[in-house]
Amino acid sequence: MIVVMEPDATEQQLEAAVKKVGELGLRANVIIGTERTVIAVVGEEREHAKEVLEVCDAVSAVMPILAPYKMASREVRPEPTCISRGSFAAGGSNIGVIAGPCSVESEEQIVASARAVKAAGATALRGGAFKPRTSPYSFQGLKETGLQMLAAARDETGLAVVTEVVSTEDVELVARYSDVLQVGARNMQNYRLLEAVGGVDRPVLLKRGPSATMDEFLLAAEYILNEGNQQVMLCERGIRTFESHTRFTLPLASVPYLHRKTHLPVIIDPSHGTGHTYMVPSMAAAAVAAGADGLIIEVHPDPQNAASDGYQSLDFGGFRATMDQCRRVAAAMDRTLGCSPS
Amino acid sequence: MIVVMEPDATEQQLEAAVKKVGELGLRANVIIGTERTVIAVVGEEREHAKEVLEVCDAVSAVMPILAPYKMASREVRPEPTCISRGSFAAGGSNIGVIAGPCSVESEEQIVASARAVKAAGATALRGGAFKPRTSPYSFQGLKETGLQMLAAARDETGLAVVTEVVSTEDVELVARYSDVLQVGARNMQNYRLLEAVGGVDRPVLLKRGPSATMDEFLLAAEYILNEGNQQVMLCERGIRTFESHTRFTLPLASVPYLHRKTHLPVIIDPSHGTGHTYMVPSMAAAAVAAGADGLIIEVHPDPQNAASDGYQSLDFGGFRATMDQCRRVAAAMDRTLGCSPS
Amino acid sequence: MIVVMEPDATEQQLEAAVKKVGELGLRANVIIGTERTVIAVVGEEREHAKEVLEVCDAVSAVMPILAPYKMASREVRPEPTCISRGSFAAGGSNIGVIAGPCSVESEEQIVASARAVKAAGATALRGGAFKPRTSPYSFQGLKETGLQMLAAARDETGLAVVTEVVSTEDVELVARYSDVLQVGARNMQNYRLLEAVGGVDRPVLLKRGPSATMDEFLLAAEYILNEGNQQVMLCERGIRTFESHTRFTLPLASVPYLHRKTHLPVIIDPSHGTGHTYMVPSMAAAAVAAGADGLIIEVHPDPQNAASDGYQSLDFGGFRATMDQCRRVAAAMDRTLGCSPS
Amino acid sequence: MIVVMEPDATEQQLEAAVKKVGELGLRANVIIGTERTVIAVVGEEREHAKEVLEVCDAVSAVMPILAPYKMASREVRPEPTCISRGSFAAGGSNIGVIAGPCSVESEEQIVASARAVKAAGATALRGGAFKPRTSPYSFQGLKETGLQMLAAARDETGLAVVTEVVSTEDVELVARYSDVLQVGARNMQNYRLLEAVGGVDRPVLLKRGPSATMDEFLLAAEYILNEGNQQVMLCERGIRTFESHTRFTLPLASVPYLHRKTHLPVIIDPSHGTGHTYMVPSMAAAAVAAGADGLIIEVHPDPQNAASDGYQSLDFGGFRATMDQCRRVAAAMDRTLGCSPS
């Protein structure tokens, strides 16, 4: 941690800041510069130390050197984490593919979707039973009935089931019916929920909040890891920017950044990340070329009649074409996308 | 709702879209323009209708005319809502002032803070007992013990207590000890929590999420109103932008905007909205001049030793000076700020 | 154009707005909705008409239907524009590759760079002679001497030269020495400069400003097209967002968006778009997979000693490896990247 | 400057970085931390040194300590700069008020505007003769004829004239007719133009670009100061964010920030900063309460028939009411707004 003093800091103010460093159990190195004096602080840094030093008199800024997360860091665990659960694998040479409708609407719809996405090469089925919706007047999901339909689709196809959990009290229920728990973007900083999914034996797909910095995203993952669950996948699904021609801005540079900073696999969501069906195929291919460890894509048997997110869903033909293109790009990157199509 | 067709839409595609409008129980007016054809849709719009029409063939865009929220709208209830609970009032000619530390740390600290902020003119006490923190390694609050300390400070000073609730299972507990429930920015779209606070007899201070649009913010309020609780205050606490010299960017134009769109009172948080103690006094005064119905300000007996947020907290002297300045600006606006100082 | 009236608009106010529509030479269709009245305006829309109607009494909003640009629009010219100049081609099946140092530093440096990037498969050479720099104290470029060095490198290698022009008075000079004129992001709305490059017989590489919307970007291109120069390439080089782990956020969804809206080719700059050398290879590959018509990449013989932008420049080996990877991805997309490496 | 090494940096890599520091004429202090080694660099920092060190092997980050601007810095010149020219003064206890139409449309319009804004208390007249417009099809200004009309309005009222210059070749012409030169937001990084206005004897109103950081803004001012012109006013006119209910987001915290970092006066533009007439009065008052040294406000005799920006212009009555309110707020801040109304 580097403590930068104000240019007009007095000797006493400098001493007070140095004393405070000592009280925090850290060691201070004072460096007198041409225009400013800085204190290089050595020792095991804690978030709290930064906050305390920032409010000392005549301290201009405190710059942390170390990342605030630990268990998620590649410095702690250099080799990449691969996630595997049933039919699904992400990380290493495998690019996992999670596909299916935004919402589970009926058993017929979800089973048909599961069959179609599996035939096109997907390795997991997505589908929302508990739906967090911006408006209280929108469709909120079929809840436990929806979970039972997902389980039926798994029985039918063997695909692992990925579904969202929105509340601590539902974690056990959702885990009973599914293989991977999704924590949605709106709940990325719902710490009680993160702690709850950190306590169950299921991989977690953690979506980035639309205004979360990378440190906030990795600290959210840290909440889960810290409870003992090491099976965390980071999902980039777009950030909120001034752009209005897309629903969110999908920053694919998150892939190389996260690969450098963390051992956790990175999944890209080109559906929410763009908000327009016509953009999904090219952004899915781009995600694979950027090095993503997985894709999560909205697919619906009849997007025009979907209960939600039809405007960003592929139909079965569109998904198959997208998979065919992505498979060729994956091969060009020496990786394997999903499973073989049938 | 206006449905804009693609320039090359065929007669059949136009008819299909018109038919879909009818199926949704709405009426279609087709207008043939010089370059584009549009369908003006009349009837009670629903969010779902927009989604359905967006995915019709050859539909280029669907533009809603009506706001998606209803109960929060000034069109539904033209007169402003005033919130009053114990010592606290916000709306109309009253500018409510909520002040106190970020976290409750000890009974001594919170009682001293309550006395000081009341003497300077505050009408409610803030203090966090349940603290949502970005890092799992940061101080997480004193929980129920903290709530008891807040209640003791209220007994001592008569100030209404405002404190955050982070989880549905805590709502009853927090309501027992406090006068106003705060829903934090991270939980603005935690819909279960919104529904839970919508079911209790306490005013709610709802903070805007740092990337929430105004429609999303008002729809979050709608979740609470829709459960029967009409006592909602909207708190602008800054948005995430590219600016890094402030913690968040505080957009004070939210005040005139919200006053035009909704009857709910608007509270400004210059502490989180700037993230720097030195900016708080001028932004508090600016908020009053912009027409805010209340302020929420972090005040700590000893910011240098605060458990959290010291870098954006005023000390007692700073708060008193800020109140004196804001009181003069409020008078210039023909409004009354907080209560008389002692 | 759709004019939305306020809910409490009077009959007179509606009539006044309708009258104004007529005065603008447009035709009004009034549609009485359940809660709002709207006027659908038919005729050739002009930007000015929108502004005029917006300030009529009781007008709540004016929503344009048509894009504000014309010559850049795919509606006007459906087939894609291919740009070709000397060794360089972009559009159709060709992916053009522009590579070279940020700044021209010496003849030795620029000739060595030209040879290396050509050997790796680049089809044009970049290099700045006039450098717009954020600080007046930074290196500002070699100016005409730099242009002469670029011309020498072209003579040596046959590569087309792409270089930036920052001022109207330099357009003729820069055109004399180069094949493609670059207008930088800072000058995207320097309309005098756009008009000037619109009057010369050289393709223009127009960079998107970091906060430009797509409409603003395409209207900037329109300034050039409107002067008679139809050879415009649109370069996405990243936008300013809250993210700080990259220099800019590179939104690759610009590629499918622009391909849908305009016939002009789209070039991606993964160097400025990320600001970090280690991210350039994966984002270059992602750009190709997203469908880009060209790449512009910073390459320097010795990035550690570059006069500018060393932190985002590839060295020769890094560029060759990036090209090899991108060529495989291009093949997977059925396109051809640059020229054959030697 | 602090150079942070990668955690796995070798002894040799550290030595190479230290050597490079020496070559730059700076002194290195190596501090071995618990997890990282950092080099504290002492000496007169230059932008270039940061770039060079960033690309050394095993360097993780370089964090500057000093601001990159010098002449604009309060560290160099602690007392605030006051700008005064004819009827206009900004800084110290004076809050300057610049008001008038977006575009000069006719002599009648500009003279009437000048009379009305002077009567309401404005101390300078604004009006655009050279208009940079997003679309080539929009009204581009009356050019020299417009300048002559501005001069006529000055002769009539004695108000100082503030008008925009968009190109180096016009600087002399515009200076001949006006008192303060405005550099618009789109040209904030048009360095040739900054240098040109730095060479004339006129105060400059420099508008912040909508995505400019504070460092970029102050470095743009530095370009002007560096040419010898010390009369620079910084104008905050809103930044581009995800918000769409305002044209730009107006961050009033720029006022206390700039007052801390620079001696130059700060002017607020609530017209462009909001884009809606109805928001201008409250944001003007908020700007005064935030400590602004001046306001620039669009006022038009008949906003419904304005050639540009009617949707954000006040009419004469609205301006007078705004001035009356702002004058009361200014008095509450112990400052004087504009001149006495008549």
Average pLDDT estimate for D235-260? 97
- In this prediction, residue B45 carries a pLDDT of 67
Between the two ends of chain B, the Cα-to-Cα distance in Å is 56
- In this prediction, residue B34 carries a pLDDT of 77
- Contact: C277, D48; criterion CB under 8 Å: no
Query: Comparing A188-197, D54-63, D259-268, D284-293, which segment has the lowest mean pLDDT?
Result: D54-63
Contact B309, B298 (CB under 8 A): yes
The B2-5 sheet, strands edge to edge: B27-32, B37-42, B2-5, B59-63
Q: What is the pLDDT of residues B4-20, one digit of tens each?
A: 898 889 999 999 999 99
- Contact: A191, B311; criterion CB under 8 Å: no
The larger pLDDT score, comparing residue D47 to residue D143, is at: D143
Contact D316, C65 (CB under 8 A): no
Q: What is the pLDDT of residues C230-277, one digit of tens each?
A: 999 999 999 999 999 999 999 999 999 999 999 999 999 999 999 999
Residue D295 corresponds to which amino acid? L
Give the integer Cα–Cα distance in Å for A308 and A146. 14
DSSP letter assigned to residue B328: H
A 182-241 → C contacts, CB under 8 A: 211, 213-214, 239, 241
- In this prediction, residue C46 carries a pLDDT of 65
Residue A310 corresponds to which amino acid? G
All residue ranges of chain A with pLDDT < 50 are: none
Strand partners, A73: A262
Strand partners, D181: D163, D204
Quick one: CA dihedral D211, D213, D214, D220, positive or negative?
negative
Residues in CB range of A11: below 8 A, 6 or more apart:
none
List the single residue in A35, A66, A242 with the smallest CB-CB distance to D242.
A242
Under the banding of pLDDT at 50, 70 and 90, the label for residue B138 is confident
**Looking at CA atoms only, how far is residue A2 from chain D in angstroms?**
8
* Token output for D230: 């010390």
pLDDT of residue D295 exceeding 90: yes
- In this prediction, residue D47 carries a pLDDT of 66
Give the integer Cα–Cα distance in Å for C290 and C161. 26
* C245 in reach of chain B (CB within 8 A): no
Contact A220, A226 (CB under 8 A): no
Quick one: CA dihedral D243, D248, D252, D258, positive or negative?
positive
What are the backbone angles phi and psi of residue A79, rounded to the nearest 5°?
A: -80, 145
All residue ranges of chain C with pLDDT < 50 are: none
Q: Tell me whether residue D271 is exposed, middle or buried, using C-beta atoms within 10 angstroms of its C-beta: 0 to 12, 13 to 18, 19 or more.
A: buried
* Token output for C86: 């000397």
B-chain residue closest to D243, CA distance: B213
* Token output for A321: 């074409």
Contact C268, C287 (CB under 8 A): yes
- In this prediction, residue D36 carries a pLDDT of 83
Percent of chain D with pLDDT over 90: 79
Average pLDDT estimate for B258-265? 97
Under the banding of pLDDT at 50, 70 and 90, the label for residue D61 is confident
**Looking at CA atoms only, how far is residue B103 from chain A in angstroms?**
13
Q: Phi-psi category of C5—alpha, beta or left, where left has phi over 0 and alpha has psi -120 to 50?
A: beta
- With contact defined as 3+ CB pairs under 8 Å, the chains touching D are A, B, C
Q: By C-alpha distance, which of B95, B145, B159 is closest to B288?
A: B95
- Contact: D167, C192; criterion CB under 8 Å: yes
List the single residue in B241, B249, B252 with the smallest CB-CB distance to D283.
B252
Residues on chain B touching A313 (C-beta within 8 angstroms): 55
What are the backbone angles phi and psi of residue D154, rounded to the nearest 5°?
A: -65, -45
B 118-177 → A contacts, CB under 8 A: 132-139, 166-169
DSSP letter assigned to residue C251: B
C-chain residue closest to A244, CA distance: C213
Give the integer Cα–Cα distance in Å for B326 and B308. 25
- Contact: C31, B43; criterion CB under 8 Å: no
Strand partners, A235: A207, A267
* B60 in reach of chain A (CB within 8 A): no
Q: Quote the crossing angle between the two packed helices D316-332 and B316-332, to the nearest 10°.
A: 150
Count of B-D CB contacts under 8 Å: 127
**Looking at CA atoms only, how far is residue C268 from chain A in angstroms?**
13
- In this prediction, residue A46 carries a pLDDT of 65
- Contact: B34, C40; criterion CB under 8 Å: no
* D288 in reach of chain B (CB within 8 A): yes
List the single residue in A167, A191, A211 with the smallest CB-CB distance to B192.
A167
Contact A299, A280 (CB under 8 A): no
Residues in CB range of A111: below 8 A, 6 or more apart:
A149, A152, A153, A156, A157
Q: By C-alpha distance, which of B261, B243, B258 is closest to B294?
A: B258
Give the integer Cα–Cα distance in Å for A251 and C240. 12
Give the integer Cα–Cα distance in Å for A183 and A170. 12
A-chain residue closest to B245, CA distance: A61
Contact A214, A257 (CB under 8 A): yes
- In this prediction, residue C307 carries a pLDDT of 84
Q: What is the pTM of this model?
A: 0.94
Give the integer Cα–Cα distance in Å for C316 and C321. 9
* A2 in reach of chain D (CB within 8 A): yes
Alpha carbon separation from D179 to D121, D147, D153, D172, D229 (Å, rounded): 18, 11, 13, 12, 14
Q: By C-alpha distance, which of C135, A67, A212, A74 is closest to D61?
A: A67
Number of Cβ within 10 Å of residue C325's Cβ equals 20
H or E element that contains B87 = none
For D252-309, give the DSSP string. TTHHHHHHHHBSS-EEE-TTTTT--GGGHHHHHHHHHHHT-SEEEEEB-S-GGG-SS-
What are the backbone angles phi and psi of residue D96, rounded to the nearest 5°?
A: -75, 150
Residue A23 corresponds to which amino acid? E
* A248 in reach of chain B (CB within 8 A): no
Task: Provide the strand spans (E) within B124-212.
Answer: 124-126, 160-164, 180-183, 204-207
Residues on chain D touching A33 (C-beta within 8 angstroms): 40, 42-43, 65
pLDDT of residue B44 exceeding 80: no
State the Cα torsion D218-D221-D223-D225 to the nearest 10°. Answer: -120
Query: Comparing B31-35, B262-266, C117-121, which segment has the lowest mean pLDDT?
Result: B31-35
* C38 in reach of chain D (CB within 8 A): no
Q: By C-alpha distance, which of D215, D310, D203 is closest to D267?
A: D203
Residue with tokens 């025009």: A304
- DSSP H helical ranges for chain D: 11-23, 47-54, 107-120, 144-157, 171-177, 191-197, 214-226, 254-261, 280-290, 316-332
- Contact: D286, B282; criterion CB under 8 Å: no
Contact C202, C231 (CB under 8 A): yes
For C113-130, give the DSSP string. HHHHHHHHT-SEEE-BSS
Q: What is the pLDDT of residues D10-21, one digit of tens each?
A: 999 999 999 999
List the single residue in A250, A290, A329 with the smallest CB-CB distance to C251.
A250
- In this prediction, residue C42 carries a pLDDT of 85
* D290 in reach of chain B (CB within 8 A): yes
**Looking at CA atoms only, how far is residue D100 from chain A in angstroms?**
30
H or E element that contains D63 = strand D59-63
H or E element that contains B82 = none
What are the backbone angles phi and psi of residue D178, rounded to the nearest 5°?
A: -130, 170
* Token output for C38: 């709207």
- With contact defined as 3+ CB pairs under 8 Å, the chains touching A are B, C, D
Give the integer Cα–Cα distance in Å for A33 and D104. 53
* Token output for C36: 């709002």
- The rounded Cα C150 to chain-centroid distance in angstroms is 22
Q: Quote the crossing angle between the two packed helices C316-332 and C107-120, to the nearest 10°.
A: 30
Q: What is the pLDDT of residues D167-185, one digit of tens each?
A: 999 999 999 999 999 999 9
- In this prediction, residue B292 carries a pLDDT of 98
Could you give the domains of chain C?
2-63 (3.30.70.1140), 83-337 (3.20.20.70)
Q: By C-alpha distance, which of C329, C300, C267, C315 is closest to C89?
A: C267
* Token output for D121: 């208390």
